[in-house]
Chain A
């Protein structure tokens, strides 16, 4: 476990990693990084690195969960044992169970599951390196991987986490700011449709802070989704005939 820093800002008001309070870490999005999956994406927010793979629509392996009017979405969020400071046991934790659920629920508003009744669309997310904001990077990666798989979507989604350290709201919190800060507020949205698809708050905020943080997150998500769009536009080489 790292130590709690004495202060989260230097004398110039910059964060410990040199960023300003409303500055994202470098975002990198690579599409189609796996050959077996129907769609895939590798996303990094600074040192946080996640990979998402999409399979389907195909017949569900778990027959009991066949939906008569649409496809069911399956999501597994998992952290690689080497992704954290100290080795993480590969067995799924309560945190991973919850995050799999909220990631699924952040994608369901945009995936056109109604086009594929009785099938399953499976999304596997592996966190390769964790430095804060893994669930929101996972949502961005999963959204890009779904589009890469050619699965019809109403819009793309992206996510970012807002933190609160030394009483100040910061954009895209890193691990130290997450572990020792006062709040972690992950948000995901589909900017084209103006929809919030994930909202969690782990910490304490006044109503004004909550609103300021939400606005900050939504503005950043617009830029993240713009990157996602660019990566998707440049990814595939040729138009496939129907």
Chain B
């Protein structure tokens, strides 16, 4: 119902009554206001008001699940071009595409690597991955530590062909090359359709 909706600047309460929650702020005179168009979700026991946005910001937020492509590996860091967001529950679903280029970073720790391991046995350039966003600030820190997270598409390092998942490895259908990755179970299920409208990014 649109009557419940509030818009940026509208008053939710005062500092003495409530703590500012998600998508709210306290102005210079101690008044709690909404920062987005949304529906207020007060939690009287904790005295917190969140505002649930009607239209979510089209940018990665902490906790978002994102799809992107590894475009560079340098000094054990993987740099990822972020494409858009997915939801994994109840079943994998494409949510929306980002409108511009955004960069994510994977550290060895967030890949879940063992110290002696080579990062190339987890991710490689041109891999398409599903990752969780750990910080809402650019460049976005990503994590592959989680059940469904990891590589969903991999390209053969020898001949450039798209590889098929087979057990815990990827096999190249053209040259037979076998490569190891931190693979997502979604790689073999093919349940997720990546709906990219824009196939070229402005660089």
Which A residues lie at the B interface, using CB under 8 A? 36-39, 55-59, 61, 110, 112, 115-120, 147-156, 190, 192-193, 228-229, 232-236, 238-242
Contacts and interface: CB of A to CB of B under 8 A. Distances in A.
A149 B56 CA distance: 7
Nearest to B139: A118
B9 A153 contact: yes
B137 A58 contact: no
B138 A119 contact: yes
B56 A150 contact: yes
Contacts of B8: 110, 147, 152-156
A111 to B, nearest CB: 10
A112 B35 CA distance: 8
B59 A56 contact: yes
Select the residue from B2, B11, B103 with max chain A CB neighbours within 10 A: B2
A232 B37 contact: yes
Contacts of A115: 136
Given A55-B100, A233-B5, A150 B52 contact: no
A113 to B, nearest CB: 12
A149 B100 contact: no
B55 A149 contact: yes
11 contacts: A116-B136, A150-B55, A154-B33, A155-B9, A156-B8, A190-B9, A193-B27, A232-B5, A239-B54, A240-B54, A242-B52
A150 to B, nearest CB: 4
A142 B72 CA distance: 36
B102 A58 contact: yes
B100 A156 contact: no
B170 interface: no
Nearest to A121: B59
Select the residue from B5, B52, B61 with max chain A CB neighbours within 10 A: B5
B47 interface: no
Interface residues of B, number: 40
B34 to A, nearest CB: 9
Given A117-B138, A152-B35, A59 B9 contact: no
Contacts of B202: 61
A43 B178 CA distance: 58
A193 B9 contact: yes
B18 interface: no
Contacts of B108: none
Contacts of B5: 232-233
Interface string B108-150: 0000000000000000000000000000111100000000000
Contacts of B13: none
Contacts of B6: 233
B101 interface: yes
B53 interface: yes
B58 A118 contact: no
Contacts of A150: 36-37, 53, 55-58
Nearest to B41: A239
A56 B100 contact: yes
Given A61-B202, A118-B138, A239 B39 contact: yes
Given A38-B58, A57-B138, A232 B33 contact: no
B23 interface: yes
Contacts of A154: 8-9, 25, 27, 33, 35
Nearest to A37: B99
A61 B100 CA distance: 9
Given A55-B99, A115-B136, A148 B33 contact: no
B98 interface: yes
B38 interface: yes
Given A147-B7, A156-B7, A192-B33, A59 B54 contact: no
A233 B101 contact: no
A112 B25 contact: yes
A153 B51 CA distance: 13
